[in-house]
Amino acid sequence: MSLTSSSTYSDAVDQYLDNLDWDGDVTKARAALQAIRFLCAQRPLRQTSADGRSIDFESLAPQQKQIERFLDVYDSTNRPTHSFVQGRPLM
């Protein structure tokens, strides 16, 4: 699921919970990171949903950094597809 501006808070919580086991899985890590960013954009310190689930937003910041570091290493879609190497003509 990809969150959009019409997504609800509950959609983001569900996406976050569905991807808690992101470690080692780039796709799940991207989804978890997207959910964390969506939830942090809401900006309360703590949120409790109608069904009693609660999220402490301060605890999301370290997890966000951890996921970002993981994706920096393992997500090849964020890397340049070309590189430049200095060359010399052969004579």
Higher-confidence residue of 73 and 32: namely: 32
> So what's the pLDDT on residue 28?
94
89 in a structural domain: no
Residue 35 to residue 12: CA distance in whole angstroms: 5
26 in a structural domain: yes
Kindly give, in sequence order, each residue whose CB lies less than 8 Å from that of residue 12, ignoring residues fewer than 6 positions away. Answer: 3, 35, 38, 39
Stretch (H or E) spanning 55: strand 54-56
85 in a structural domain: no
Going from the C-alpha of 66 to that of each of 7, 17, 29, 72, the distances in angstroms are 25, 16, 10, 10
Domain carrying residue 50: 9-74
5-19 average pLDDT score: 90
1 in a structural domain: no
Give pTM, 2 decimals. Answer: 0.64
91 in a structural domain: no
56 in a structural domain: yes
38 in a structural domain: yes
Q: How many domains does the chain have?
A: 1
43 in a structural domain: yes
Q: Which of 58, 1, 60, 62 is nearest to 30 (CA)?
A: 1
> So what's the pLDDT on residue 85?
66
